[in-house]
A and B are shown apart, each in its own frame.
Chain A
Amino acid sequence: MSQPTDLKQSLKVMIVDSLMLQVGPEAIADDAPLFGPTGLGLDSVDALQLVVSLEKNYGLKIADTSEAKKILQSVNTIAATLTQLDETRRAQPPRS
């Protein structure tokens, strides 16, 4: 599934801002691993901040660590989760 480029761009800005990274959003590739030595090199404290930022900015609630590991692999995986969440919300009938 493809996700809008502007969503990925805003995610990168959020990552840089919320983690106060010393790199710009353009330095983060869509499919680059966010964690570990081969990617952006984020750690568990960064993950905690990302979970809070995603809930605050996108209403995405990540229930536990194993779910966080799956969702926070890369900008692509986060964008895919948000796109799916958006589609689920649209499919739900409006509350009367």
Chain B
Amino acid sequence: MSLRVIFITGANGGLGVATARAFLTESPDNCVWLGVRQRREAAERLAGEFPGRCDLAELDVTQPEVWRAAVEIIVARHQRLDVLVNNAGFHSDALLAQMAPESWRNVLAANLDGTFHGCQAVLPTMISQRHGRIVNIASLSALAAPAGQTNYAAAKAGVVALTQSLAKEVARIGITVNALCPGFIETESLAELDAEARRAMIARIPMRRIGRPEEVAAAVKFLASPEAGYITGSTLKVDGGIL
């Protein structure tokens, strides 16, 4: 396999690190860029493990000019960009009646606007290569829309729709765009749960266990692989069978 350049946003979190590691261990020809903002300890540790093949990129996903600058740096270094994983995002749960407008706007900005800006930033490079893979990390909330997550569910449903629409626009140029909906995954956001809430959560999962970040990473890696070349506009659930 020849050089592949992969850009992963939200790369300091559990899913981001696991995804980056999956690509880095897949092939010594893979170079991975980790988009980070405030927290970067885990990303720096990973970059230290793979010197010369893993770098950090300063990235506020809500800012289009920051996106352009980050992509320019990557393309200047490698003359290509093969895979974008739009993984950055967060949730800020509240009932709609009590939700602060900033909470609505911030969640939409990070999860949906960030995905839009990311796709827009990488498309010129991928179009000129006539090749590219975009994997947008959505959420089971996009499909199940639980109470207390109107902002997050709307944003992630938007990500799924963006994925389907963009996939049609760029299919003939050799670019695939797919969405991935993780269910309950063992990441930092579940660490806050107490034992009782955790038991209740597991009881809702047909597989009776919480997913591992590596299991989501494997699905991302597949959607970015040559073997997935005919898959585009798809939404893949990695949820232990909840939906």
Q: Which residues of A contact B (CB under 8 A)?
A: 45, 48-49, 52-53, 55-56
Interface digits, B114-144 against A, CB 8 Å rule (1 contact, 0 not)?
A: 0000000001100110000000000000000
Is chain B's interface secondary structure helix, strand, loop, or mixed overall?
Answer: helix
Is there contact, CB below 8 Å, between B124 and A45?
A: no
Residues of B within 8 A of A52 (CB): 123-124, 127-128
Interface digits, B142-166 against A, CB 8 Å rule (1 contact, 0 not)?
A: 0000000000000000000000000
Give CA–CA (A45, B123) in the complex, Å.
Answer: 12
Is there contact, CB below 8 Å, between A45 and B172?
A: yes
Give CA–CA (A49, B128) in the complex, Å.
Answer: 7
Q: Which residue of B lies closest to A46 (CB)?
A: B172
Pick 5 A–B contacts, CB within 8 A, sort by A.
A45-B170, A48-B169, A49-B173, A52-B123, A52-B128
Is chain A's interface secondary structure helix, strand, loop, or mixed overall?
Answer: helix
Is there contact, CB below 8 Å, between A53 and B128?
A: yes
Give CA–CA (A55, B173) in the complex, Å.
Answer: 17
- Known interface pairs A45-B169, A45-B170, A49-B173; 12 further A-B residue pairs with C-beta atoms within 8 A, sorted by A's residue number: A45-B172, A45-B173, A48-B127, A48-B169, A49-B127, A52-B123, A52-B124, A52-B127, A52-B128, A53-B128, A55-B124, A56-B128
Distance to closest chain B CB from A33 (angstroms): 21
Give CA–CA (A53, B170) in the complex, Å.
Answer: 15
Q: Which residues of B contact A (CB under 8 A)?
A: 123-124, 127-128, 169-170, 172-173
Residues of B within 8 A of A53 (CB): 128
Distance to closest chain B CB from A68 (angstroms): 14
Give CA–CA (A55, B124) in the complex, Å.
Answer: 9
Give CA–CA (A53, B124) in the complex, Å.
Answer: 9
Distance to closest chain B CB from A14 (angstroms): 12
Q: Which residue of A lies closest to B172 (CB)?
A: A45
Q: Which residue of A lies closest to B127 (CB)?
A: A52
Distance to closest chain B CB from A51 (angstroms): 8
Give CA–CA (A69, B86) in the complex, Å.
Answer: 31
Residues of A within 8 A of B169 (CB): 45, 48
Give CA–CA (A52, B173) in the complex, Å.
Answer: 12
Indicate the member of B124, B127, B169, B172 with the most A CB atoms within 10 Å: B127
Q: Which residue of A lies closest to B126 (CB)?
A: A52
Residues of B within 8 A of A49 (CB): 127, 173
Residues of A within 8 A of B173 (CB): 45, 49
Give CA–CA (A56, B172) in the complex, Å.
Answer: 19
Which are the 5 A-B pairs with shortest beta-carbon distances? Answer: A52-B127, A52-B124, A56-B128, A52-B128, A49-B127
Residues of A within 8 A of B170 (CB): 45
Distance to closest chain A CB from B129 (angstroms): 10
Distance to closest chain B CB from A21 (angstroms): 12
